Structure 1
Amino acid sequence: MAKVLVLGANGKIARLAEHIFVDTTDSDLKLYLRDAGRLKDFADSHTLVEAIEGDATDVDNLSEAMKDVDVVYANLAGGNIESEARAVVKAMHATNKTRLIWISTLGIYDEVPGKFGEWNNSTLGSYITNYAAAAKVIEESDLDYTIIRPAWLTDKPEVDYEVTQKGESFKGTEVSRRSIAQVVVDITQDPDKFKRESIGVNKPNTDGDKPAWY
């Protein structure tokens, strides 16, 4: 049984993962977010779930939350994501934790080919730069990380994905949030899965110049 700390626990992928955890595993969950009241009802209705209020740049608060967990799953966002990455690494070192799952984005290595890559770069702009800087912090650490680089996200109720590795061209244009959530849960249940890897995740056969809905 894994005990998992979810950072950014009210994010869309995180919420899906949390429901998969309580429906399919016996994992304990600690849900870390700026306003714990947002997940109070969910936490109160599940005995293995605890909601914790805190900021992801607060090293002391992060360290306190990490003390008794096995895996840290970071579902963070925003212009300060590099600072959040540094705080997470520092807190994990302080508490002797090693296993980290980090949600990033496609394009941080300029790995998206062709016209889709050009469109992705021009559309996301500095978003990619910020996420690339955060990923660099994670990769230069000694943590047992998995960086997940999803394609453009959909709300389709499906688990259908394929994986590419760092150094390989990214495939496809889209993937469901439900697929990414399932990858996260699967890693927590098998901590050696994708250890110290940065994986691109996409739905097969969705190649194109841009996502289908654009």
Structure 2
Amino acid sequence: MSNVLILGANGQIARLAEQQLLKETKHHLTLFLRDAKRLTVTDPDRETVIEGDATDPEALRQAMANIDLVYANLGGSQTIETQAKAVVQAMDVAKLKRLIWISTLGIYDEVPGAFGKWNHEQLDGGYLGPYTKAAKVVEHSDLDYTIVRPAWLSNADTVDYELTHRDDLFKGTEVSRKSVADLVTKLINDPTKYVQDSLGVNQPHTDGAKPSFY
């Protein structure tokens, strides 16, 4: 059993991961978010909710007491780089090493072809740049991190995905949030996997110029 801190615990992928972790594991989950009223605790014995700001290193450090692993499901193009710096700083002070960091596809310009061009058109100009900078903060730390770069996200009720790595071309165009949550759960259950790696996540056989739902 591990004590897992989930940052951005009300995010859609985070909530799916929380459900899967409660169902399939015995881990204790500390759920960190800006507005605690937005979450409903289903198992008080295994869930602790902390209200706080992920740009505040001291609030994060306090939340990291007795934690084994941090899963950061943070967002916001205006704050994501600041949040990355705060998380790294807090983990260093807390002497924590293992971090799972949710990012986005395209931060290495790794998406090929027509889909890569479409992805740039959608994400350039205020989104891709900050997420690229945030990922660099994580990669330049001394943490045992795994960066997760999902394809365009769907709410499909399926778990079906494949992985690429930092130096690989990205595959596919889309992936379900349930699939990303499943990957996060597997990384939490085996924190020795994919350390200091950056994983692209896509549903097989979804190649094309853009996701099917566009």
Which residues of 2 match residues 16-95 of structure 1 at below 5 A?
Answer: 16-39=16-39, 41-42=40-41, 45-78=43-76, 79-95=78-94
Instruction: Give the match for residue 170 of structure 1.
Output: 170
Determine the C-alpha separation between the residues in 2 that align with 1:198 and 1:53: 29
Shift of 1:179: 0.5
Instruction: Give the match for residue 98 of structure 1.
Output: 97
Q: TM-score, normalised by structure 2?
A: 0.97
- Equivalent pairs counted in the alignment come to 212
- CA deviations 1:13-33 (Å, max 9, x no partner) are 000000001111000000000
Question: Which structure 1 residue ranges, 5 or more long, are not aligned?
Answer: none
Instruction: Give the SS at the match of 2:127.
Output: helix
Instruction: Give the match for residue 2 of structure 1.
Output: 2
Question: Which structure 2 residue ranges, 5 or more long, are not aligned?
Answer: none
Aligned partner letter, 1:69: I
Instruction: Give the match for residue 132 of structure 1.
Output: 132
- CA deviations 1:174-204 (Å, max 9, x no partner) are 0000010011111111011111100100000
Which residues of 2 match residues 108-147 of structure 1 at below 5 A?
Answer: 108-125=107-124, 126-147=126-147
- CA deviations 1:59-117 (Å, max 9, x no partner) are 11100001111110000000210000000000000000000000000000000000100
Shift of 1:121: 0.5
Shift of 1:46: 3.5
Determine the C-alpha separation between the residues in 2 that align with 1:155 and 1:144: 30
Aligned partner letter, 1:137: V
Determine the C-alpha separation between the residues in 2 that align with 1:184 and 1:123: 26
Instruction: Give the match for residue 156 of structure 2.
Output: 156
Determine the C-alpha separation between the residues in 2 that align with 1:162 and 1:207: 13
Determine the C-alpha separation between the residues in 2 that align with 1:179 and 1:156: 9
Supply the RMSD in Å over aligned alpha carbons.
Answer: 0.8
Determine the C-alpha separation between the residues in 1 that align with 2:65 and 2:143: 16
Instruction: Give the match for residue 210 of structure 1.
Output: 210
Determine the C-alpha separation between the residues in 1 that align with 2:48 and 2:178: 22
% identical aligned pairs: 56
Instruction: Give the SS at the match of 2:118.
Output: helix
Determine the C-alpha separation between the residues in 2 that align with 1:212 and 1:157: 15
- CA deviations 1:25-44 (Å, max 9, x no partner) are 000000000011111x325x
